[in-house]
């Protein structure tokens, strides 16, 4: 049973979150004023110092509070392509090196969930975790038949912390919305409110893992560790142990003879298959959840291992069709078709037309062209887009963003960050296009099969025989 937070604890968390992010927001505004009005020569150094201090204050708050705040900071730390380098460097340590819970807490949780002693369930169980993150920590163990496994154990108080943090974020984002009228973060909080209860249920995570694992039964270069259902409950998940190299450790990959380009190509292909072919995808591809296993022999392709399926999403058929239309328009370079696809997906502007969406689509298209031979958005492209898009949105704000786009955007952002870290250069068009075409053809066949056969036309009356 999760421990309930006292009123004093809830107030402290709300104050800690509000003060931390409030100071950073005011600092950003102050630095923007100085840069705009005074333009000092050392402005770049001032920004670097401010970003370092801000990142450390966020890091300290995340370590102290854990919960949803820690998970959000992990996401920020993975965006090496967009956030200032100070944030990426400081917050990257939150991916899998969060201070662990004492072993006695882990033992108590596992034994309560499995209704057996640790020794009855496992031949061996390492006390020190191999990873500790926002919601749980993972220990290496061995079943009695000798199978090496990874045991994911949920923090006992995490459900209560997540509920409290969601409430605090709603209040914080509403306040931001009042200050920045054209900056609506509420769709993100709404999506978190839907997803987090699912992510805290490890049975749901295990089902997600098996579903996505079946997608790659035909491939040797992508896999998902097998779940051991007899040892899996709502708060404990046991799966095969998957040794390997963290995907963002470029030095270790190269030392093992693995080319980052090959890894990035496999990753993009894997996501194309999930999103375009199956409409169900792993929505949390941060570096701690992706492992690379070098080939057993020289020249053999490496294997990409997906872990941690708490956050996964199924796309409705209509939404998948809209995404295919958007991808097709993007690949063809048609801003007009992109605008129509955005409208059909559920994007709405204040004026209600597609013209503003077309302007936004043109900026996205220009950025995509720069992605042609790289898998991340470079800082120049990001800066240009960040200057033009807010202006367009202020002139005709987007008042509705479909919830599915929030998670898809998060995936694209994380993949872009990984592409920057890996310095992977692949031909995005050639990699993505076959999946778009194949999925479009499959949807056309499904539509034709579901449609009734046409009757005789006015000039083709049936022969009465």
Torsion of CA 4, 9, 10, 12, to 10 degrees: -170
Q: What is the DSSP letter of 225?
A: P
Does residue 154 sit in helix, strand or coil? strand
CA-to-CA distance for 397 and 418, rounded, in angstroms?
30
Torsion-angle region of 426 (φ positive above 0: left; ψ -120 to 50: alpha; else: beta): beta
Does residue 356 sit in helix, strand or coil? helix
CA-to-CA distance for 116 and 137, rounded, in angstroms?
20
The neighbouring-strand residues paired with 153 are 137, 236
Phi/psi for 386 (5° steps) reads -70, -20
Helix (H), strand (E) at residue 441: helix 428-450
Give CA 175 to chain center in angstroms: 25
Phi/psi for 295 (5° steps) reads -65, 155
Using only the alpha carbons of the chain, give its radius of gyration: 24
Question: Strand pairing of 131-132 and 136-142?
Answer: antiparallel
Q: Would residue 221 show up in a list of annotated catalytic residues for this protein?
A: no
Rounded alpha-carbon distances, angstroms, from residue 419 to 173, 268, 323: 30, 10, 22
> What's the token pair of residue 232?
């899996």
Catalytic residue among 81, 165, 284, 359: 284
CA-to-CA distance for 158 and 449, rounded, in angstroms?
48
Task: Give me the count of residues in the chain.
Answer: 465
> Half-sphere exposure of residue 125, counting CA atoms within 13 Å on the CB side?
18
CA-to-CA distance for 266 and 120, rounded, in angstroms?
40
Rounded alpha-carbon distances, angstroms, from residue 201 to 153, 208, 233: 11, 11, 8
C-beta of residue 242 within 8 angstroms of C-beta of residue 291: yes
Phi/psi for 405 (5° steps) reads -70, -30
Long-range contacts of 216-220 (CB under 8 A, 24+ apart): 216/270, 216/273, 220/301, 220/303
- Nearest Cα neighbor of 200 from 65, 311, 307 is 311
Q: Give me the active site residues, please.
A: 284
């Amino acid at each position: 049973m999760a421990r309930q937070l006292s009123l004093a604890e809830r107030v402290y968390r709300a104050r800690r979150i509000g003060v931390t992010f409030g100071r950073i927001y005011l600092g950003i505004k102050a630095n923007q004023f100085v840069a705009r009005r005074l333009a000092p020569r050392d402005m770049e150094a001032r920004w670097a110092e401010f970003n370092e201090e801000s990142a450390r204050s966020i890091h300290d708050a995340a370590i102290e509070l854990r919960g949803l705040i820690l998970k959000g900071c992990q996401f920020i730390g993975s965006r090496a392509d967009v956030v200032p380098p100070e944030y990426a460097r400081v917050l990257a340590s939150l991916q899998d090196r969060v201070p662990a819970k004492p072993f006695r807490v882990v033992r108590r949780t596992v034994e309560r969930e499995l209704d057996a002693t640790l020794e009855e369930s496992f031949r061996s169980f390492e006390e020190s975790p191999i990873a500790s993150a926002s919601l749980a920590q993972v220990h290496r163990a061995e079943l009695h038949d000798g199978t090496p496994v990874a045991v994911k154990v949920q923090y006992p108080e995490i459900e209560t912390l997540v509920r409290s943090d969601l409430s605090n974020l709603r209040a914080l984002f509403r306040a931001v919305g009042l200050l920045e009228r054209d900056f609506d973060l509420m769709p993100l909080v709404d999506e978190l409110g839907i997803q987090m209860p699912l992510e805290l249920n490890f049975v749901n995570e295990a089902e997600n893992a098996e579903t996505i694992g079946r997608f790659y039964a035909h491939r040797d270069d992508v896999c998902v560790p097998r779940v051991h259902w007899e040892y899996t409950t709502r708060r404990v998940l046991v799966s095969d142990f998957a040794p390997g190299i963290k995907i963002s450790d470029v030095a270790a990959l190269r030392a093992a003879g693995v080319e980052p380009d090959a890894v990035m190509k496999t990753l993009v292909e894997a996501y194309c298959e999930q999103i375009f072919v199956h409409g169900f995808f792993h929505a949390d591809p941060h570096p701690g959840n992706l492992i690379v296993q070098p080939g057993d022999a020289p020249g053999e392709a490496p294997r990409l291992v997906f872990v941690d399926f708490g956050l996964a999403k199924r796309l409705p058929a209509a939404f998948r069709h809209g995404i295919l239309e958007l991808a097709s328009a993007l690949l063809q370079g048609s801003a007009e078709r992109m605008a129509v696809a955005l409208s059909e997906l559920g994007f709405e502007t204040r004026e209600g037309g597609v013209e503003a969406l077309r302007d936004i689509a043109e900026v996205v298209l220009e950025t995509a062209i720069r992605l042609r031979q790289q898998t991340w958005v470079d800082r120049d492209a990001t800066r240009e887009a960040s200057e033009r898009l807010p202006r367009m949105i202020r002139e005709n704000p987007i008042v509705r963003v479909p919830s599915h786009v929030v998670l898809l955007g998060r995936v694209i952002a994380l993949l872009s960050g990984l592409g920057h870290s890996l310095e992977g250069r692949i031909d995005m068009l050639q990699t993505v296009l076959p999946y778009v075409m194949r999925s479009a053809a499959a949807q056309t066949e499904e539509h034709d099969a579901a449609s009734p056969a046409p009757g005789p036309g006015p000039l083709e009356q049936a022969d009465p025989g």
